[in-house]
Amino acid sequence: MKTRKLGRSELEVTPLCLGGNVFGRNGRITDEATEFAVLDAYVEAGGNFIDTADVYSKGESEVMIGRWMKQRGTRDRVILATKVGMEMAPDKHGLARKYIFQSVEDSLKRLQTDVIDLYQAHRDDEQTPLEETMGAFNDLVKQGKVRYIGASNFTPERLAEAQKVSQQHGYARYESLQPLYNLVDREEFENGLQQVSIKLEIGVISYFSLARGFLSGKYRPNQELPKSPRAQTVQRLYMNERGFVILEAVDRVAAEHNTGAATVALAWLMAQPGITAPIASGTSPAQVRELMQAVELQLTDEDLAALAKAGK
C-alpha cells in the first residue's frame, strides 16, 4: 500500500484516513464486535492512519479504539491521531496550557497508549495566546507524550500566525491541517487554506470527505431518504440542483471505472494539490473495503476536470 509523508514529519500515512467519529454511543457503531470488524478491515486492506477526538461520544470513540489496539496488538501498526479543544463539559474546552495537559492524559488513558502520533487542536482558541498553546504542545512533544501536532478548523491567517509563533520560539509546529473539503464543499479550502498549506508544507487530512455521506451514492433525487438524523442535514445542505449535478458527474466516472461513487469522490480528493489523506468513515467491513479502493483508483485528467467542472 502506497503512503504519503504528513507535512515535514516522519509520519508515513496511507492516503485514506479512517475516521473514528462513528464509534461510541453518539456514533453509528455502538457495539464492540462491529467496531473491531471495521478497524480490522481497514488494517487488513493496508490502512495505517486512524483519526478520532476526545469529544467523539465524549471519549467513547477513544476508549473503543484503545480496546481494539490492546486486544488486537495493533498499536505499532497504526498512526494514531486525536484532538483536543472542543467542549467536553462547560468547564472543559479550549487550548489553554493547563487544559491541554489535562486532556492529553485523559486521551492517553482512554487510548491505552503511551504516545499519540498526531495531537490536533480541534478548533482555534482566540481567547488563549498562541504562545501559550504552541508552548504547551511543544512541551508534550519534548516529554514524548506526543510525536507531532496538527490543527483543525483554522483560518489561513491564524494557521500562518501559529506557524510563525512556533518558528520564533523554536517550538514544534503544526504538521497537519484538518479542514472541511469535498467535491461539494470547496470554497473554504480552495480560497486560502490550500495555498497556505502548500506554501508551509503542511499535510492536509480533510473531513466530511464524502459530504456527510451525500457522495456515497445513498442519496438520489426522488428517492426516500435513509432513516437517520444525519439524512435531514444532508437533505438541507446538498440535495439541490447543484448537488445532483455533481452526483451525476460522480456516477458517470464511477460507471466508466466500474466502481462506486464514494471511491470516485475520494480518489478525486486524493488527486488535489496539497491533500495528504482524506478522512472517511465506514460502518461495516464491506464499506471500508470499498473506501480503500480509492487509494488504487487512477482517475484520468479528463475525469478530474469533469468532476471539478460539475460543481462550478
Nearest to 277 by CA among 8, 18, 52: 18
Mean pLDDT calculated for residue range 68-74: 97
Q: What's the pLDDT score for residue 261? A: 96
Location of C-alpha cell 481494539: 68
Provide CATH code, domain 4-213+260-299: 3.20.20.100
pLDDT value, residue 223: 78
Domain boundaries, the chain: 4-213+260-299
- pTM equals 0.96
CA atoms within 13 A on the CB side of 10: 2
Res 266: pLDDT: 98
Q: Which of 56, 171, 181, 238 is catalytic?
A: 56
Cell output for 48: 495505517
For residue 254, name the pLDDT band (cuts at 50, 70, 90): very high
The answer on pLDDT for 1 being more than 90 is: no
| pLDDT above 90 for 85 | yes
Predicted local distance difference test score (pLDDT) of residue 221:
80
Residue 232: what pLDDT?
83
Nearest to 234 by CA among 248, 251, 220, 213: 213
Residues 156-181: pLDDT tens digits? 999 999 999 999 999 999 999 999 99
Where are the strands (E) in the chain, listed by range? 4-5, 12-13, 17-19, 49-51, 79-84, 116-121, 146-152, 174-178, 203-204, 279-280
pLDDT tens for each residue of 38-52: 999 999 999 999 999
pLDDT tens digits along 206-245? 999 999 999 998 888 877 777 777 888 888 889 899 999 9
- Kindly tell me the sign of the dihedral angle through the C-alpha atoms of 146, 147, 152, 157: positive
Q: What is the pLDDT of residue 226?
A: 72
Mean pLDDT computed over 62-88: 96
CB 95 within 8 A of CB 121: yes
Judge whether 207 counts as a catalytic residue: no
